[in-house]
Structures are given as C-alpha cells and as structure tokens.
Structure 1
Amino acid sequence: MTEFSVEDARTCVVIGGLGFIGRSLILRLLKLRSWIVRIADSSPPSILVDQKSIISDAISSGRASYFQVDVRDKSQVIRALDGSSVVFHMGNTDPSAHDTYQCYLYIVQGTKNVIAACQECNVKSLIYNSSADVIFDGLHGLHYVDESLKCPWKYEDMLNEFKAQADALFLIADNYDGLRTCVLRPSNVFGPADPYIVPFLVNQANSFLAKLILGTGDNLCDFTYVENVSHAHICAAESLASETVAVAGKEFYITNLEPMKYWEFVSRIYEGLGYKRPMIKLPARICRIMPPLVKWLRNQLGSEFSHQLASAHFAIQSASFTRTFNCSAAQEHIRYLPIISLEEGIGLTVKSFSHLAKESTSAREIDFCEQSKVEKLLGGGKVADILLWRDEKETFTYFLALVLLFYWVLLGGRTFISSASQFLLLAILLLFVHNILPMNIGGFSFQEMPLSSFQISDSGMKYIFGTLACLWNEGIHITKSLAQGEDWDMFLKVAIPLYLLKLILSLPLKLMVAAASVIAFTSFFTYEQYEEEFDAFVKVVCILGGNLKMKLMRNLPAPLSPLFQSDEALY
C-alpha cells in the first residue's frame, strides 16, 4: 500500500457525506490515498464520536475533516469549500423535510448555494449526484434511453421535479468563473446500509402486498450497486480534469450494465433474507387503475396519509414499467465500468441485512413475544391457540372433529334428539373404555381424567351469570335509548345488525353452521397475518365514510336537519 502524501493529494469536499452514497464515496476516496477529504453534512459532529471506522480514523489522522453544513445557508457551504479543488454534491434531502417548501429549499435552493459557493471559492470541478428517476414521467416506460431524451414537462413525484430543476442548474453553471460541472444519474442504487429499497421491501415482507406481482412481471429495470456509483463519481472527477470538453456540462446515466427483471431483483432480496418470493400476478388492467386510485385517495384523505400514499404511488409506477438506460456515454467519456457485478452486489447487500432476515433472533423475538390484537380479542387462551393455528396438528384435529360432528348431527339424516343421544352414548362409552385401560400399553401412557375436568367452578358460574346479567342490562339501556327516539346513531347501530341477523337466520341451519365453522378457522388467522393492511383499509373507509356523511348532512332537507344536528356537530 502506498504511503499517503499531503503534497500530492488533492482536496475534495463531499456534501452529504454521511448519507448512503456519500459515505460509500468517502470510503473509496480514502482507500485511494490520493485525496484529502472534507465531509460536509447536516448531521451534528457527535455522530462520528467513538465510532471505530475508517472515516473516524481518517479524521483523527488528519486525512479527513468534518464540517456541519446546512446547504440552505451559503456561508456554511463557503466555509467547507474554501481551498478545495473538487466538490461532490450528493444532493441528499434532509429526512425531516417532508413538506414541499422544505424539499425545495434543500434541493433547489441548496443547489444554488453550492454553485455560488464553488464559484466564490474558485473550485475547479463540481459533480452532482442526481437520479435516473428525473427522466420518468410515471406514465411511460423507458427502454434503453440515453442522454438525448429530455426531462418531462410534468412530474407525478415532487422530489423528482426538484431534482430535475437542480440538474438544469448544474448544467447551466458549467464554464462560469472557471467552474466545470457534470451530472451523474444512477438508477435504483442499492447496497449495504441502503435506507430505501431493502428496508422498504423488508417492511412489506409479511404483508399481502409482498405476494403480488404487478402485471406480467417481465418489466426490466437497471439497478446500480452503491460502490459502482462511488467509482463513477471518481471517474467523472478525473475526466473533468483531463478531458473537459467531452465531460463538462454533460449528464451521464450510471447503471450496473446488467438490466434485470424488477420482480426477479425483488425475489432475490426476499429469498436471500428467508422470505417467499412474490407469486400472485395482478392483471395489467388492475395495475393501470392503481396509480389513479392512489392519487384520488391522496386528494380525498388530505395531509394525514399524503406522504405514505405519495411513496406508494411512485413505488407502484416504478414497479410497473420497464426502465433501462444506455450507459455508453459514461463508458466512453468518463471511462466508467462497474467494479462489482450485480450478482455479487445482491449477495453483499443481503449479507449486510442478515439482522432483518426472517429467521434472525430479533425477528423470532418479535414474532413470539408480541401479542397480536386478535389474540387479545380471543382472550389469549386455548381457543386463541386453536383458531390462530399455533399448533397446526392440534388445530387440524379440532377442525376434523368439528367436521365429523357436523356430519353426525346435521348431515346424517337423523333428528337432533337422536343425534345428540347417540353422541352422548358414544362419549360415555369412550370415557368408560379410557377409565378401564391400564396406565401403560406398549409404551404409551394413559392419564386418568379427574372428575374436576367435567366440573364448572363457582367462580366460573359467577362469571357466566355475571356476563349474562351485564348483557341483559346493556340491552335494557339500549332499548330505553331507542324508545326516546333521539339517538339516531344508536338506532342505526342496532337496526343494521338486526337486519343482517334476520338475513342470516333465514338461511338453512346446515349452511349457517358450515359457514360459521369455516370463518372461525380462517378469518382470525387471516386477520392476524395482515393486521396492518386491514387496519389501514378500515381507517381509510372510516375517513371516506365520514366525508360522505358530512356531505349528506349538508344536503338534507330543512325539516330533517334538526334530527341529525347533534351528529353533524361531532364532525
């Protein structure tokens, strides 16, 4: 390894250096041992204290320094840039900036401040890390497009629109006051410590959404391993210094040069972490109506779900279209070639996220220690264990016994009294045989069933009759409220369930019992598996129902308005 020489080293600044791509770039610059690196980031300096890493060691030895910089303040940017020759701007958005105005300040106004600071500090080269998403309009696929394709006039995603504006500012700034600029547009960057793609997939891994494939699943996408992006930045810096005309004022797409089916990439991540790959394909027609539906929900629900739905909107669009890019310009002019293959990059990424794998210790602790809502609803006892399929063999045994009982009582052609008497006779016979069996037969032990197994305790009887008394008193209270004719909410809550009960009781007894049995053994288990999705759906329905109710109240005839005045006040 060559010794580090301050005289031969060039000074560079990495703005957003503690972000995902910025940190990778810094590590690569330090490994080359020909750069003095200044790290500029909005995070406080304390984030680097007591960290045993290459970056903290480099700061201790003087090969690197740290500046806390808010790009919205040009004076802070100038302080970090003064005396440097190359600036890499990662274009990170502050995580706390959720509203449109703050995003604009960080991305667009921050870009203006960085360019102005570079010009004042006589910086020679400025490389901006943009995104290939700036060319995507959310409506059309991108098939091996190159830099000749212009950005769309209208964007579905706010961040991409601001990044496109920043792109234009960097390209226009080229060759002013001796500053040479270029823009890199990597596509779908992933890798160890990835805060976007892999965490998003893992968060969805146990949901119903993780089982879906939008469309045919044949849409191709370009993915880029993070270390290849860092390599491309250094290639661009070297090329700006030597071949200025071919590189300055230009944008370049950066990929792994290995287009892969989007859903194959997702499946590789899931399988590597122990989850099942998506298998259910949604028809193309449904996929086409999903983005407009999500957009309509954003308008209906307002700011409460705006950011989540915006992310979902863009994710659906990204997963539905082919998006591949021609990197021949980057290969020719900045001499970029990937140094990590896509296969190796996926393997390294999966390995780095092993703590999020399905069979990891933390995952098992979460699965077995946290009680779900439906388990609390069922009381968390034996019934809950059976209906939630905690022990599949035990649950299947009870289900099979229920099926046999159903056949014996309802499908056997017997009357209810004869079926009950025969079943009671069979139960007595089994208990008698069990009682006279020896304790051990051929290595199998039979425990004697104590009399207490068939008795109901005093506390149990008190609980049963107490519950019945509470239900009776609650019914009397509801009946009294209905008799006064003022509580319309109560009337609807009682009338609708009674009407539904009437419809159910009108069905044949066999059908009712069969349906109830199947629902009991499937609905609770299904709800537990997709609890978050069900709750989110119910919340959305309630909000939409509330909005619809308000509109109905406003359009009621004047004579009926006083009847619902108390309800309307609640809204």
Structure 2
Amino acid sequence: MVVKTTANDVATENRTCVVLGGRGFLGRSLVARLLRLGGWIVRVADSSSHSLLTDPSLASDSLLSNALCSGQASFCHVDVRDTSQIIKVTKGADVVFYMEPTDLDIHDFYNCYLIIVQGAKNVIYACRECRVRRLVYNSSADVVFDGSRDILDGDFSFICPGKFKDTLIDLKFHAEGLIRLANNIDGLLTCVLRPSNVFGPCDTQFVPLLVNLAKAGLSKFIIGSGENMSDFTYAENVAHAHICAAETLGSRVVSVAGKVLLKSVTGYANLSDILIYIESIYKTEVLNMQAFFITNLEPIMFWEFVSLILGGLGYPRPYIKVPTWMVSCIVSLHQCSHENLHNHNVSPHYMLRLASRTRTFDCSAAQNHLGYSPVISLKDGINSTIQSFSHLANDTFYTKFNEQSKAEKMLGGGIVADILLWRDERRTFACFFVLVLLFCWFFLCGRTFASSLADLLLLVIVTLYGHGILSSKLCGYAVQEIPSSCFQVTVSDVQKSLRSIACIWNRGVRRITTLAKGEDWCEFFKVVFSLYLIKYMQSYSLAVPFAMALVYAFTAYFVYDQYEAEIDAFRLLMFCCMVELKEFLWRYLPLPISSSLQNDNVLHQPKVAARVKEWK
C-alpha cells in the first residue's frame, strides 16, 4: 500500500527541506522540482562557493532566483566536513536530501574520504542532533558494478562486489552502508537511491566527456560488440524519485519490535484494519532496509544512446568496432607513461568497462514501495539534453560532405583523380586495360626493355601511318583525323613537371641533410625501412614492383575514397598506440638515450599535433 499526498495537502504543509549539494548536477534538478511542486521551503546548501551565483539563461536558476526573493528558498554555504555547519542548516528541517559532489579529484584519497565517508557520518550526526525525521541519500548503481560481469535486470538482492578499482565508487559504497545502518535510530528514517547513468542539462561528466572524445577524433569507435544494453536515467526523474522517497518515508509508521506492534494494534476495530497496518509495517521495513534502483525504465543499447547524443550535437556517430582488449592496452600504457592524471575524475578503466558491459536494473521495488514512475521519457530527456548543450554543438560537421575527399586532393583533383577513383568506369577500365597490355609487352614478353620499347615505337609509327593513309570514309563509317595538338606539350605542362621534379629533389636533399645531422630518429627509421623494402622488391624482378604499383594505383585510392573515415580512424588508433608504447619504453631506457629521444619528441610535437588534426 502506497500512501500519496494530494496537491492540496502539499500546498498547505509548507514543509522545510535541506538539499545538501544543491548546486551540483542533480542538486539543481531536485531544487527546481521542489520549487515547482510548491509547499516546500527549500534550503540550498553547497560547498562550491560562499555566495550563490545564478545563471539567468538556465530555467532552474531563474526559478531559484524568484524563490529566493519570495522567501521560498534560501542559500547557505556548507562544508560537509564541518558538522557544525550541517547542524546550523538542518535545524527545524523535516527532510534532508543528501546529494554528494561529483567533481572530486580521485587522486586525493584523503579529501575524497573526508567528503564522502566522513561527510556521511557528519550528516547522520547532524540529522539526529536536529531531530530530522527523514534522510534521503543519493547513491549510484555503480556500487554493484565492478565490470567483471554483465548485470541483467539487477534488483535489490544483487550482491555488491565489496571491492572496487574506482576510488569514488568504493567510498560511495561505504557511505551508503552508513546511511542504511543509521535507519530507525533516534527517530531518523533513511532511504538510499541508486540511479543508473544519470544524464541531463548541466551534466558535468558524461556529455562533456563524449564531446571531448568527439573533438579528439575518437568518437568513431565502438568498444566491444556494441550490443551491450544499459539503463539511463534523466536527472528530472532522479529528482522525482527523491521526492517520492521522502513522501513515502513520511507516510509510514515504523515499528521494529513485536511488543510495539501488539500494543499498536489494540486501537484497531476489526481484523482487516489490522492486516492493512501489518502490511504497511512490512513494506516500511523493506523500504528502510533496501536500496532502490532508479532508471528511466527504457533499457537501450549503450552505443545507441551515445550515437543519439553525438548525432544530435553534430558529431560523427560511432560505427567502427574495436576490441575491448586493444583499448584496454592503450589505456594501460597511457597510465603507465603518465603517473599524474589529475585532469581525470573518473577511472578510464571503469569507463571502458561501463561502455562494453550490459548493465540493466529492475526498478520494480521503487515502483511498488515508493510509487515512482518516470515523469520524463528517455526520448524527451535526450532532446532536452541536446538542446541544453547546443553551445558544444559541431556546426562544421555537416559541411564536410561537400568538401573534396582526401584521396581526390592527393591525386590533384584532375583527370588522374577521375581515372583512379573510378569516376568514369569506361575511361578507367580503358586506361587499366592499356596499362596491363604495356606491362605484358615490357615484362612478360621475354625481350629486353630496349627491344620492347623499339618494337612499341615501331608499332605506333605503323599504326599512325596506316591511319593517315585511310580514306575519310571506310565501309560507310567516317574516319576522324588525329589532330597534331594531341602530340604537343604546352610550356606550362613542362614547367609544372619540372617544378614537381625540383620539389621531389629538394625534399630528398632536406631529408639527407636532416639525417646527416642525426636529429630525427623517426625519419631515419622511415628511410631505412623504405630502402630495405626497395631492396627486397628488387631481389625478385622489376615486374613485381610495377605489378604491385599498377594494382595499388587502381584499388588503394578507390578503397580509401570509399572508406576514408574508417581508415583514418584506424590510423589514428594505431598512431595513439605507438605513441603510448614509445612513451612507455622511454621510462626503461638509459637516461642519456631517454633524454635525447625526449628532446626529439618535443621538437616534433607540432608535427604530431598536425597529423592528428589531419586524421580527425
């Protein structure tokens, strides 16, 4: 039996609540919903700043500003590490909503412990001291997920791992345990909510992370099979679940001893009323002892959700599947090469497991005992999130389709590009057929190159002479004369050819000069590898490299033109892997060699950045 309050009851009660962490991502949504419902005097408590800074462009902040002017809301700077500050803000409150801060540095373990675990102890102590009856704690579904296995429709009976590789999740698990153990002590009723993959406007983690990956050119990759399902929860629904939990806690009569139950039932007139009372007590005990999973009740493939967000913001959707073990190796190498990663507040390995595992939860307990049901659908939540992050949208993405492809740019965009990219299939096939005939004439006929060239010239001269003596009409068909301009070469074409030869020569001279100075190790290995490859090909015959070049010219550019994005993404992935592997190996090289290579890397950082930008 779920007891619900009516709108009139809510409006006349004027209850006071405290939202700890009220200026955080979820705190803003909860404060806005409480103010919209009415009947609540909201005390917004946060440690982010000593004064309240609102953004008029945000609807939630505009609502809060009006509530501050009318006295329906107030703001107080509260540090959960200081119990006296919590006691000051919770005096006279009926409900405390505890929303932890999420922007914590996971490398500062001591500070994280003070805020999460010790902060939970301080909040519990302050609630008891101030005789607060209800405490609703916002935990996370992450406390039952360690990435070792999939979770399919996990419910409150799901066994928590107990050990986590992610610092914040480990500490949140301990804080959740303290909140649950504090239930029904000194008149304090507690409830723990576990929302899964929260998203929405003002998100500071998930959506900005996706945008940063997209800007780095890494949004094209799907980690794993891409079929893993996940439950996501819109922030407004999480706020609604907190209010449902507070209302339900306030409507229950709590009893933990049999004698109290027998004493209490004496006031009931008939058996049906006693059974209803016992049922309410049973449900209350279930409510207070378990933690509730909160979702949108719409499981979706994880990468489909990511595609909807990125596509709505104008970024490429993920479509290239990469094995999980490969990405895990790159992440491990990156962590080994960079000891200090203070710019990350989420473990990269945890995000990797989250993106490649199925993680769905059974929300029926929250529906049955809290009366929770989503107030915003997943589709509407995604659209609202995309609109709120319009300032991060990529407007240039859609214009790239009208640009010239990279393969066409490399080939000059002229007749050669049209032939090698198969723009005109007849002309391309004719050119390919002629080149195959020339290849057979020079390399497969058994003659020397000079004799093959002399025979070819003789054949051309005889053909041209025979074409010249033909009549203008032959068997009713007109024979067109070959104009002399077909055999002429313009001065501009000769100049272009000479410039190209000069550029190739100068480029080779610059490379030789660089190698002579011994400054560029990468260039040295490239030249050595190229020369070794030429030597290996020459060991067979000239026919092999020419045949390979012929096949390569008519296939490689065409394939690259068709699958440009996939190939560039794979090159970028391999490049990142090589960079991380090189930095990992530097740590184990002797100091002089390592310093020399490090200096060389500093000199070539602009080249690396330019190459990554080009592939993006």
Query: Which category describes the TM-score, using the shorter chain as reference length?
Result: 0.7 to 0.9
What is the CA–CA distance in structure 1 between the aligned matches of 2:351 and 2:212, rounded to whole Å?
A: 14
Alpha-carbon contact 2:45-2:89 (below 8 Å) kept = yes
What is the CA–CA distance in structure 2 between the aligned matches of 1:542 and 1:149, rounded to whole Å?
A: 41
Change (3 A) 1:354 1:466: closer
Partner of 1:408: 434
Partner of 1:439: none
- Answering whether residue 33 of structure 2 is matched by residue 28 of structure 1, we say yes
Unaligned segments of structure 1, at least 5 residues: 437-448, 555-561
Alpha-carbon contact 1:4-1:33 (below 8 Å) kept = no
Which range is displaced more, 183-192 or 262-271? 262-271
Rg bigger for which structure?
2
Unaligned segments of structure 2, at least 5 residues: 1-5, 255-283, 443-451, 465-479, 601-616
What is the CA–CA distance in structure 1 between the aligned matches of 2:485 and 2:315, rounded to whole Å?
A: 48
- Answering whether residue 45 of structure 2 is matched by residue 47 of structure 1, we say no
Compare relative contact order (CA 8 Å, sep 6+) and give the higher one, 1 or 2.
Answer: 2
- Residue correspondence of structure 1 range 65-80 to structure 2 within 5 A: 65-80=74-89
What is the CA–CA distance in structure 1 between the aligned matches of 2:575 and 2:345, rounded to whole Å?
A: 16
TM-aligned CA deviation for residue 188 of structure 1 = 1.9
Partner of 2:264: none
What is the CA–CA distance in structure 1 between the aligned matches of 2:16 and 2:573, rounded to whole Å?
A: 51
* Structure 1 residues 507-532: Cα deviation after superposition (integer angstroms, max 9, x where no partner): 43121243256445666997777768
Task: Specify the code of the residue in structure 1 equivalent to 2:547.
Answer: K
Structure 1 residue matching 2:339: 3-state secondary structure:
helix
Partner of 1:501: 534
Change (3 A) 1:6 1:276: closer
- Answering whether residue 263 of structure 2 is matched by residue 258 of structure 1, we say no
Structure 1 residue matching 2:495: 3-state secondary structure:
coil
Structure 2 residue matching 1:117: 3-state secondary structure:
helix
Alpha-carbon contact 2:139-2:192 (below 8 Å) kept = yes
Structure 2 residue matching 1:234: 3-state secondary structure:
helix
Structure 1 residue matching 2:113: 3-state secondary structure:
helix
TM-aligned CA deviation for residue 128 of structure 1 = 0.8
TM-score by length of 1: 0.73
Partner of 1:303: 339
Change (3 A) 1:489 1:510: closer
Which range is displaced more, 337-346 or 235-244? 337-346
Alpha-carbon contact 1:3-1:33 (below 8 Å) kept = no
Change (3 A) 1:435 1:83: farther
What is the CA–CA distance in structure 1 between the aligned matches of 2:460 and 2:218, rounded to whole Å?
A: 45
Alpha-carbon contact 2:154-2:361 (below 8 Å) kept = yes
Which range is displaced more, 32-41 or 108-117? 108-117
Task: Specify the code of the residue in structure 1 equivalent to 2:187.
Answer: G
What is the CA–CA distance in structure 2 between the aligned matches of 1:419 and 1:277, rounded to whole Å?
A: 55
What is the CA–CA distance in structure 1 between the aligned matches of 2:570 and 2:80, rounded to whole Å?
A: 38
**Aligned to 2:237, which of 228, 231, 250?**
228
TM-aligned CA deviation for residue 481 of structure 1 = 5.9
Alpha-carbon contact 1:189-1:225 (below 8 Å) kept = yes
What is the CA–CA distance in structure 2 between the aligned matches of 1:509 and 1:40, rounded to whole Å?
A: 75
Task: Specify the code of the residue in structure 1 equivalent to 2:225.
Answer: G
TM-aligned CA deviation for residue 296 of structure 1 = 4.0
Partner of 1:162: 171
* Structure 1 residues 245-290: Cα deviation after superposition (integer angstroms, max 9, x where no partner): 31335421112333344445445545656777656667xxx54x45
What is the CA–CA distance in structure 2 between the aligned matches of 1:539 and 1:64, rounded to whole Å?
A: 50
**Aligned to 2:141, which of 101, 108, 132?**
132
What is the CA–CA distance in structure 2 between the aligned matches of 1:320 and 1:348, rounded to whole Å?
A: 26
Partner of 2:509: 472
Partner of 2:68: 59
TM-aligned CA deviation for residue 240 of structure 1 = 1.7
**Number of corresponding residues:** 526
Structure 1 residue matching 2:374: 3-state secondary structure:
coil
What is the CA–CA distance in structure 2 between the aligned matches of 1:513 and 1:461, rounded to whole Å?
A: 24
Which range is displaced more, 304-313 or 90-99? 304-313
TM-aligned CA deviation for residue 74 of structure 1 = 3.7
Structure 1 residue matching 2:153: 3-state secondary structure:
strand
Task: Specify the code of the residue in structure 2 equivalent to 1:409.
Answer: L
What is the CA–CA distance in structure 2 between the aligned matches of 1:29 and 1:66, rounded to whole Å?
A: 15
Partner of 1:16: 21
Alpha-carbon contact 1:21-1:230 (below 8 Å) kept = yes
Alpha-carbon contact 1:144-1:326 (below 8 Å) kept = yes
- Residue correspondence of structure 1 range 117-516 to structure 2 within 5 A: 117-204=126-213, 207=217, 210=220, 212=222, 214-215=224-225, 217=227, 219-243=228-252, 245=254, 246=284, 247-269=287-309, 286-287=323-324, 289=325, 293=329, 296-297=332-333, 300-303=336-339, 311-350=347-386, 352-353=388-389, 361=395, 363=397, 383=410, 386=413, 397=423, 404-412=430-438, 413-415=440-442, 418=456, 453-454=492-493, 456=495, 465=502, 468=505, 471-472=508-509, 475=512, 478=515, 494-505=527-538, 507-515=544-552
Alpha-carbon contact 1:356-1:363 (below 8 Å) kept = no
TM-aligned CA deviation for residue 351 of structure 1 = 5.1
TM-aligned CA deviation for residue 493 of structure 1 = 6.0
What is the CA–CA distance in structure 2 between the aligned matches of 1:187 and 1:93, rounded to whole Å?
A: 14
TM-aligned CA deviation for residue 39 of structure 1 = 1.6
Change (3 A) 1:82 1:343: same
**Aligned to 2:93, which of 67, 84, 89?**
84
Task: Specify the code of the residue in structure 2 equivalent to 1:318.
Answer: L
